[in-house]
Structure 1
Amino acid sequence: MSIQLEKYKAGHWQPATGYKYFMPAKINDQWQWNDAQLNTLLEKASIRLGELNSYARLVPNIDLFISLHVTKEAVVSSRIEGTQTNIAEAMLPEEEITPKRRNDWKEVNNYTNALNEAIKGLEKLPLSSRLLKQAHQRLLSGVRGEHKLPGEFRSSQNWIGGSGPADAIFVPPAHPHVDALIGDLENFLHNDQINVPSLIRIAIAHYQFETIHPFLDGNGRIGRLLITLFLVDQAILHQPLLYLSTYFEKNKSHYYDNLTRVREKNDMLHWLKYFLIGVERTAQEAVDTLSKIIKLKQDLENNIHQHWGKRTQSALKLLLRLFVQPIVTVKDVQGICQLSKKSAGELTESFQKSGTLVEQTGQSRNRIYYFVPYLDLFKG
């Protein structure tokens, strides 16, 4: 038995009391197709991922740059769900966030922590329901959705859009089916008895996860996290540097329409092409960003070596930290460089005059400085 992509049936609508829910077909099987364009898109996406891996190996101190990629993913993936926090704001301490923005800030920081912990968790756990549940628990801790079974699959019906399942845009499978469907998805991801390319595998799995909608809240963010976790788990990515949320967010309706098209028209082929184009473009953008980061770092280091005299070592130490912690106060600079308050203030002022740091508060006290040239590279 195998699934012929062009003849794929996504599932069927199952009657319930007062509404119908969608029961997806299981996916753990050999997939085959005849469409030559899909092979071409798969090849292009794979080549771009290989380039990203190769480029990342050449970057000194690659760990310095991963944290901002993760923060950007947390911001964008959360923004798809309606939060308003930007990347600079996400990196501020909580006490600097206005009360009306604090809930959004917490959601984004929860996602950052969930993502980081899940990636680290892959060192001890396989990509599994257990790992996703742990990430989900962290995601909903102390924020909107904290009462919607954090860390547990749902035990009731959920729906997307509308006031209830009767007038919803989409109704996922009833909760008694969730464990079996997720088990099938998990088996598909790890099934070494079938020959399904990894990028095709995770594209199908992401669609299936969003269709199952196993949690009461947070499904979109966990489903997008699943993509990166799988690529890292399979050693397709050696560093967590590829996130598709920006691609999905550029035209959210297109993303949702493509998922819906699978369910309504059985058109998995169209979804796979959309997904592979996203991988290719996103990998290229990641390479471009890394290239710009390397150039920025080299240019700033060269300038410091040439013009900063006796403060060179302190300036280089601060610059290195700014690539990890791109928002600082004078007190931070004191600790980073082991300087007096006066010397730290003077060093910060010099960074400000050179355009490396930009003060954003406009205050005379408790001033906060942003490493704007670096942060700007992640705005796109």
Structure 2
Amino acid sequence: MIQLEKYNSGKTEKHPTGYSYFMPSKINTQWLWEDQNINSLLEKAAIKLGELNSYSKLVPNIDLFIQLHVTKEAVVSSRIEGTKTQMDEALLDEDEISPERKDDWKEVKNYIDALNQAIIELDTLPISSRLIKKTHGILLNSVRGEHKQPGEFRSSQNWIGGNTLMDAVFIPPNQDYVNALMGDLENFIHNEDIKVPALIKIGIAHYQFETIHPFLDGNGRIGRLLITLFLVDQKILSKPLLYLSAFFETNKSLYYDNLTFVRSKHDMTQWLKYFLVGISQTAESAIQTLSSIIDLKLRLEEQLFITFGKRSNKANILLQHLFKQPIVHVNQVKIITKTSFKAANDLVTEFVKAGILIEKTGHSRNRMFVFEEYINLF
């Protein structure tokens, strides 16, 4: 049993070669606390998540919009790690990305694929080292971290900040302890004999994952993704609509400071307060986004019905596609609406006149049209 206020996060151990690494305490046990502020924040976060989950069930064709949420998460979570891809770039095909931006674009695409595949895998696999490794393998496939053991826990020492082990800001546990620590983390997530509220459990689990740092690369992205997977796996959310990366990125130093203070000052209480505030604020933001999407969808469907008359059926097919893929070429519209190139071009022209699409390239050929009002909601 761990009393939160008396929690000992671990200790520094010296390696025979001279450097020192942090060895975290195991977490698979009952947790108790006296700080009532945690209970208040926990209640508020749970209520907001309940609202978000209810709201998502009211949105028609919710899966149309989830891909934009996933794309935003991929962009923001990857940006924390230093990639420069923007939201509109992430929605483009690879052949439309300039060569110097392709590596960043590929990292974001991998994140989208990893998250989507992990959600599918949850139907048959519990949150486990196996699932985490599979997801990591997709994340690092054919990108800059491809030589850093994709899909495998590290077999060498890593560190955070600095150029070597001797000037590192933080050195996670030695590789020999990774499997045991990850086993403890996995057992904690699934331990039904302890009565730890789910949001406290994933808050502690996220801290512990980042402290173990089980991979040579991609730990931040996998650790943040783990939060969403847990909420879906526990049926707290029926759809993957909550991502904390934007909250963490708003004040990156605060995120890292709160993690660091758990290790250096044993202050898990402050980390959990910060984490629960993040859940509440992010859920509220997601609710507002969904509300704005519903309003936009209803307004435009009504506009199409009035403006397009007999062609409103084809116009509506295009509109629904834009909610899933908000950047299109005329050739794509031709395929989507099963019409001639001329009819598709006329339809796109009408969408531009109506202010729904904006032409972004300025070319006479291979023009690209963007559903900007929708992208801006994210």
Provide, for residues 145-169 of structure 1, a one-character-per-residue CA deviation record: whole Å limited to 9, x for no partner: 1000000000000000111111100
Cα distance in structure 2, aligned partners of 1:145 and 1:337: 40
Give the secondary structure class of the aligned counterpart of 1:286.
helix
Query: TM-score scaled by structure 1?
Result: 0.99
Indicate whether 1:27 and 2:27 are aligned: yes
Q: Which residue is 1:95 aligned to?
A: 95
Cα distance in structure 2, aligned partners of 1:165 and 1:174: 12
Cα distance in structure 2, aligned partners of 1:115 and 1:309: 40
Q: Which residue is 1:61 aligned to?
A: 61
Residue 241 of structure 2 aligns to which amino acid in structure 1?
A: L
Alignment of 1:38-117 (within 5 A): 38-117=38-117
Q: Which residue is 2:291 aligned to?
A: 291
Cα distance in structure 1, aligned partners of 2:163 and 2:366: 46
Cα distance in structure 1, aligned partners of 2:270 and 2:306: 54
Provide, for residues 204-255 of structure 1, a one-character-per-residue CA deviation record: whole Å limited to 9, x for no partner: 0000000000000000000001000011001011100000000000011110
Cα distance in structure 1, aligned partners of 2:356 and 2:84: 26
Provide, for residues 87-129 of structure 1, a one-character-per-residue CA deviation record: whole Å limited to 9, x for no partner: 1100100000000000000000000000000010000101100
Question: Number of aligned pairs?
Answer: 377
Residue 306 of structure 2 aligns to which amino acid in structure 1?
A: Q
Let me know the Cα RMSD of the aligned residues.
Answer: 0.5
Indicate whether 1:7 and 2:3 are aligned: no
Cα distance in structure 1, aligned partners of 2:37 and 2:217: 36
Query: TM-score scaled by structure 2?
Result: 0.99
Alignment of 1:354-373 (within 5 A): 354-373=354-373
Structure 2 spans left out of the alignment, 5+ residues: none
Residue 4 of structure 1 aligns to which amino acid in structure 2?
A: Q
Provide, for residues 154-196 of structure 1, a one-character-per-residue CA deviation record: whole Å limited to 9, x for no partner: 0000000111111100000000000000000000000000000
Q: Which residue is 2:321 aligned to?
A: 321
Cα distance in structure 1, aligned partners of 2:198 and 2:205: 10
Indicate whether 1:139 and 2:177 are aligned: no
Residue 271 of structure 1 aligns to which amino acid in structure 2?
A: W
Residue 15 of structure 1 aligns to which amino acid in structure 2?
A: K
Q: Which residue is 1:193 aligned to?
A: 193
Give the secondary structure class of the aligned counterpart of 1:364.
coil
Cα distance in structure 1, aligned partners of 2:31 and 2:186: 16
Q: Which residue is 2:175 aligned to?
A: 175
Cα distance in structure 2, aligned partners of 1:11 and 1:355: 58
Q: Among all aligned residue pairs of Structure 1 and Structure 2, give the percentage whose two residues are the same amino acid.
A: 64
Indicate whether 1:302 and 2:323 are aligned: no
Residue 216 of structure 1 aligns to which amino acid in structure 2?
A: L
Provide, for residues 271-300 of structure 1, a one-character-per-residue CA deviation record: whole Å limited to 9, x for no partner: 000000000000000000000000000000
Cα distance in structure 2, aligned partners of 1:300 and 1:256: 42
Between 350-359 and 260-269, the greater mean CA deviation after superposition:
350-359
After the TM superposition, list the runs of 4 or more consecutive aligned residues in structure 1 that deviate by more than 3 angstroms: none
